[in-house]
Amino acid sequence: MTYQEKTIPKESLEKFLATLDSDEGVRIDNEFGHIFINKTSKRYCIDISIDNKDEFIYKNNVEQVIDFLKNHLKPESKIFTY
């Protein structure tokens, strides 16, 4: 099995997060670092990685994740699924 990622537009992020499986994830590249989003059976895990330091934040639903990301998504952000 090969590792594949694809770019998704910001407009599709909420829909993709709502259908995220446990073996899938989202990576957001910003000028300051990376944000990784994964989903367990109960909640979403958001990993903010800046200068090799990780901060983990947990949210219970897609709306909370999108609300949290409003302060972290910039016009130049690139979003990938994997």
Percent of the chain topping pLDDT 90:
80
**68: burial class by Cβ within 10 Å (0-12, 13-18, 19+)?**
middle
Residue 24 to residue 44: CA distance in whole angstroms: 12
| Residue 41, pLDDT above cutoff 90 | no
Average pLDDT over residues 46-64: 96
Residue 12 to residue 74: CA distance in whole angstroms: 15
The pLDDT of residue 5 = 85
pLDDT in tens, 1-15: 556 789 999 999 999
Residue 51 to residue 44: CA distance in whole angstroms: 23
Contact 30, 48 (CB under 8 A): no
Residue spans per domain, the chain: 6-81
